């Protein structure tokens, strides 16, 4: 208990806790993965200095550190493993500055993403990346995973929205990367290196993020049903190929839509969608600034690919069409134990990827309802099973799915990260040279290997 | 001459040259910097394998390698220094693939940026980053410096446009980074690490870049004159603060506009601008997809800040207003020896930065005509003097200018890179910790320190 006592002496009981129920909660995240052992302590830092102190002590003791925000990750990246110190930044949740004239915000890492947007709204601004978890996840966690979301197809992922970071490194050094200007090329882009590094290099304790002028004006929303998910994927690819630039383009397969109907109840579902018939659901939204003909052209492409759709300019109706998509996660959660996957493929390969997922599910006799950020070619096939342990046939099916994503020129994770869940496939995608170089880059920032060991890299 | 003979034996005279006039040309670039000594040889690679072979030989001999594209850099990054091997990728200029449906292009590094756009045009696509050098610079060089340009204010810089890279490392390893999908978070973002690394980590031999649907439809162009450059900068900051999202927003100070008038001749100048009066010139363009009121609102903000402007929907008139800006570089070149600087500040600080530049010029009695990518807060103060050596008062003035950019929360280079010209200020901006870590990152990829030594880092 040497390191825990040292932390307690330095930071006090208000910051360092060893209460078993609190540590128990740290052993998991929204991936469902539960660490085998228990962390030694939870450090709930309130200031940059407290994070520095914890990192000095942990590095000197060679004790693993697991950085954590709200614990909403889907890859196990923030799971508090046996013998580690979990350093939570949830309490560091102040918005320090909003500059309307220079279009940025300076935030602490524990700010909930949606809270930032509420604060920006008063200034006519908007932080674009919108992971589905935005109401419960933190900016720090979004940065750690390079989070995506629905509007990334038009506005970019978290990396594009981060201008500068303050990072505490093992040993306690406070490193500042990036700048407040839009452009800047002094030295290497360490900001981009930290975005998506899943807590393996240091702890983000501050961020300067871009705020864009909030899109104003009328949106056009298209909801469509297809009897075949591959046809819906073809319609999506056709909309991309036509250069129509939707701000949202989402696809929900028939299995997921059935679960959503069960979850919402048939009456509510029918009110939202105008029918209780099933099928694959395809949602497209164009925001202000898109040519007026984009919606009509998209509807035409839907129909050419065998779908039936309605195009609406009415905000209430649009809200309803979006609510179907918004109900996917709770509906899937209610259906059983989940393993959410996150493959991405070039957008033209989506129909093939959907076909492959169907084939894999059939052959292994597993349930894989699938939703997709279709505008990015980013699919979330979700394995549903009777928990808590992942059955071997699910791992076997997942193996084949990752192989398929590589075969189609894609990647094993579009936006959730590697964490613990996808380590087994990482070297296969990166190749030996890149894997080795990345491990060496990690060692530059973390020579004693205390940062989130076992995550991302083996 | 051991290493040169080894190169000749391995690659032949078609690829390796030691002709004095060819080597002489390698000693400089568009920065005007001339290396003291001469490189040993020029390797004009035609294939990835030839680059690998050259890197194997150079690394084994511990001979410095200077990667080079068209040699149009403005910071001396591609200058062939004494005793080095210059590896040129200018011959590797094929466009290997264009995918309209997945919106990317796969290119060799020697492709001229404007040539890529000509090829993409047939597919209704567009590579957004548009450095002023686009007709003479290569994609590889743009990647090495993370080049910006006029439309970056709306569409992002080179980093945002690069999806994947093939890079030859010292020793000859071919590293592949990134992917063809829009999203992907497997491991660290090595692609972003190489973008802007100025040839200090490896040689880019291939790139997959994003292509966007080409903007279609009517543009609105606003040309305005101000008697005071600070007032023009205020108008620019007001347009940003109003969230109008121009695709181009450029500012030319009175000294530069006078040089342009001399360069074009008064008659041509008056035809383009509708007046031969001088002043600071402010150019704003909105492309299709911007609200119709943006132009009117921008004109209003120009007038509120004391400017006189005209707003045009006519393509020919717009072309003329853009031509004024396009004439800035040749006009400056004709005026004397140039040292082009590249500071960036938060956009709201531009008026102060312009005021400071005027003050510095006056006090040191030096000429500093200045143009700016005002939408990014990126200023190009250009020292004009009687060549070829940079007079001490110019260095003294440049010192103060960089201090001012830091004071205003900015950076010493927005888009040109550090190269040889800005090394002396780099550590001041990055700080000791970041500087040391960046040098260690370099050593991961280049353990023997052969890649472009003396550039960026001391």
Return the H-helix or E-strand segment holding B390. none
Sort out which chain A residues have CB atoms less than 8 A from B192's CB and list them: 159, 189, 192-193
Beta strands A174-178 and A162-168, pairing class: antiparallel
> Could you read off the pLDDT of B307-342 as tens digits, one per residue?
999 999 999 999 999 999 999 999 999 999 999 999
> Could you read off the pLDDT of A109-166 as tens digits, one per residue?
999 999 999 999 999 999 999 999 999 999 999 999 999 999 998 999 999 999 999 9
pLDDT for B225 equals: 97
The answer to whether the peptide bond before residue A388 is cis (omega within 30 degrees of 0) is yes
> What is the rounded average pLDDT of the residues B8-37?
95
Whether B229 shows a pLDDT value over 70: the answer reads: yes
DSSP conformation letters of B9-62: HHH-TTTEE--HHHHHHHTB-TT--B-SS--SEEEE--SHHHHHHHHHHHHHTT
Whether A389 shows a pLDDT value over 90: the answer reads: no
Strand residue runs (E) in A132-247: 162-168, 174-178, 203-210, 212-213, 220-226
Distances (CA, A) of B230 to A234, B51, B225, B351, B403: 53, 49, 12, 5, 19
pLDDT > 70 in chain A, percent: 99
DSSP state of B347: G
Contact flag A378-B182 (C-beta cutoff 8 Å): yes
> What is the rounded average pLDDT of the residues A54-58?
98
Beta strands A65-68 and A85-88, pairing class: parallel
Query: How far apart are the CA of A401 and the nearest CA of chain B, in angstroms?
Result: 16
Q: How confident is the model at residue B24 (pLDDT cuts 50, 70, 90)?
A: very high
Cα separation, A351 vs B101, in Å, equals 13
Beta strands A41-44 and A85-88, pairing class: parallel
> Could you read off the pLDDT of B403-440 as tens digits, one per residue?
999 999 999 999 999 999 999 899 999 999 999 999 99
Query: How far apart are the CA of B321 and the nearest CA of chain A, in angstroms?
Result: 24
Contact flag B291-A289 (C-beta cutoff 8 Å): yes
Task: Calculate the CA A354 to chain-centre distance.
Answer: 21
Cα separation, A30 vs A16, in Å, equals 24
> What is the rounded average pLDDT of the residues A348-372?
96
> Could you read off the pLDDT of A247-264 as tens digits, one per residue?
999 999 999 999 999 999
DSSP state of B234: H
Q: How confident is the model at residue B1 (pLDDT cuts 50, 70, 90)?
A: low
Sort out which chain B residues have CB atoms less than 8 A from A187's CB and list them: 418, 426, 430, 434-435, 438, 456
Chain A interface includes B246 (CB < 8 A): no
Whether B290 shows a pLDDT value over 90: the answer reads: no
DSSP conformation letters of B158-170: HHHHEEEEEEEPT
A-B Cβ pairs (cutoff 8 Å, strict): 248
Cα separation, A184 vs A191, in Å, equals 11
Contact flag A433-B173 (C-beta cutoff 8 Å): yes
Contact flag A237-B101 (C-beta cutoff 8 Å): yes
> Could you read off the pLDDT of B259-288 as tens digits, one per residue?
999 999 999 999 988 888 889 999 999 987
The candidate with the shortest Cα–Cα distance to A31, out of A426, A282, A380, is: A380
Q: Are B52 and B89 in contact (CB under 8 A)?
A: no
Whether A1 shows a pLDDT value over 70: the answer reads: no
Distances (CA, A) of B346 to A6, A212, B322, B350, B405: 43, 14, 24, 7, 9
CA dihedral of A13, A14, A20, A24, whole degrees rounded to 10: -140
CATH architecture classification, B220-408 = 3-Layer(aba) Sandwich (3.40)
Contact flag A193-B195 (C-beta cutoff 8 Å): no
Distances (CA, A) of B70 to B67, B115, B206, B345, B358: 10, 14, 16, 29, 34
Find the residue in B nearest to A286 (Cα).
B289
As annotated, the residues of chain A forming the CATH 3.40.462.10 domain(s) are 220-408
Return the H-helix or E-strand segment holding A382. strand A378-385
The candidate with the shortest Cα–Cα distance to B152, out of B182, B130, B121, B125, is: B130
As annotated, the residues of chain B forming the CATH 3.30.465.10 domain(s) are 95-213
Cα separation, B354 vs B343, in Å, equals 11
Contact flag A101-B237 (C-beta cutoff 8 Å): yes
> What is the rounded average pLDDT of the residues A346-370?
96
| Domain B95-213 of CATH type 3.30.465.10 | yes
Interface of A with B in 91-130 (CB under 8 A): 99-104, 124-125
> What is the rounded average pLDDT of the residues A292-299?
90
Query: How far apart are the CA of B357 and the nearest CA of chain A, in angstroms?
Result: 18
Interface of A with B in 180-199 (CB under 8 A): 180-190, 192-193, 195-197
Instruction: Note the ipTM here.
Output: 0.95
pLDDT for B276 equals: 85
Report pTM: 0.96
Classified as helix, coil or strand, B148 is coil
Chain B interface includes A406 (CB < 8 A): no
Chain A interface includes B315 (CB < 8 A): no
Burial B259-298 (b: 16+ CB within 10 A, else e): bbbebbeeeebeebbeeeeebbbbbbbbbebbeeebbeeb
Biggest CA–CA distance in chain A, Å, is 69
Q: Which of B101, B176, B441 sits opposite A441 (nearest CB)?
A: B441
Query: How far apart are the CA of B1 and the nearest CA of chain A, in angstroms?
Result: 32
Tokens of A363: 């052959």
Of A34-43, A197-206, A238-247, B300-309, where does mean pLDDT reach its minimum? A238-247
pLDDT for B449 equals: 98
> Could you read off the pLDDT of A66-120 as tens digits, one per residue?
999 999 999 999 999 999 999 999 999 999 999 998 999 999 999 999 999 999 9
The answer to whether the peptide bond before residue B439 is cis (omega within 30 degrees of 0) is no
Sort out which chain B residues have CB atoms less than 8 A from A188's CB and list them: 193, 196-197, 438, 441-442
């Amino acid at each position: 208990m040497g390191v825990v006592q040292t932390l307690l002496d330095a930071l006090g009981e208000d910051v360092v806790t060893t209460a078993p129920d609190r540590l128990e909660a740290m052993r998991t995240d929204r991936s469902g993965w539960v660490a085998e052992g228990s962390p030694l302590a939870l450090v709930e830092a309130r200031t940059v200095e407290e994070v520095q102190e914890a990192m000095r002590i942990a590095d000197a003791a060679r004790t693993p550190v697991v950085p954590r925000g709200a614990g909403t990750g889907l890859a196990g990246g923030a799971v508090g493993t046996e013998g580690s110190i979990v350093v939570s930044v949830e309490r560091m949740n102040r918005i320090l500055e909003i500059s309307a004239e220079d279009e940025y915000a300076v935030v602490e890492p524990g700010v909930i993403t949606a809270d930032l947007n509420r604060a920006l709204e008063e200034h006519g601004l908007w932080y674009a990346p919108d992971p589905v978890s935005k109401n419960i996840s933190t900016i720090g966690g979004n940065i750690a995973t390079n989070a995506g979301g629905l509007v990334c197809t038009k506005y970019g992922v978290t990396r594009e929205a981060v201008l500068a970071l303050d990072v505490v490194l093992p040993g306690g050094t406070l490193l500042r990367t990036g700048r407040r200007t839009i452009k800047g090329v002094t030295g290497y882009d360490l900001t981009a290196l930290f975005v998506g590094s899943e807590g393996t290099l240091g702890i983000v304790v501050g961020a300067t993020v871009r705020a864009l002028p909030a899109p104003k004006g009328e949106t056009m929303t298209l909801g469509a049903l297809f009897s075949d998910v591959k046809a819906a994927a073809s319609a999506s690819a056709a909309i991309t190929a036509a250069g129509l630039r939707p701000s949202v383009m989402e696809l929900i397969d028939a299995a997921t839509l059935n679960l959503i109907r069960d979850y919402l109840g048939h009456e509510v579902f029918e009110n939202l969608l105008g029918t209780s018939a099933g099928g694959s659901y395809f949602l497209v939204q164009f925001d202000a600034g898109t040519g007026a003909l984009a919606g009509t052209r998209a509807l035409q492409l839907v129909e050419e690919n065998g779908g039936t759709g309605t195009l609406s300019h009415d905000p209430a109706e649009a809200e309803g069409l979006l609510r179907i998509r918004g109900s996917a996660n709770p509906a899937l959660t209610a259906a059983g134990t989940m393993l959410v996957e996150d493959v991405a493929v070039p957008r033209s390969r989506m129909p093939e990827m959907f076909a492959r997922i169907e084939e894999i599910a059939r052959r292994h006799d597993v349930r894989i309802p699938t939703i997709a950020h279709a505008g990015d070619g980013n699919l979330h096939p979700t394995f549903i099973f009777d928990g808590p342990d992942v059955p071997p046939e699910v791992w076997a099916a997942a193996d084949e799915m990752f192989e398929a994503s590589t075969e189609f020129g894609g990647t094993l994770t579009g936006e959730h990260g590697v964490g613990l869940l996808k380590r087994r496939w990482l070297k296969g995608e990166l190749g030996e040279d890149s894997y080795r170089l990345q491990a060496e880059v990690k060692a530059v920032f973390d020579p004693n290997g205390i940062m989130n060991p076992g995550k991302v890299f083996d």
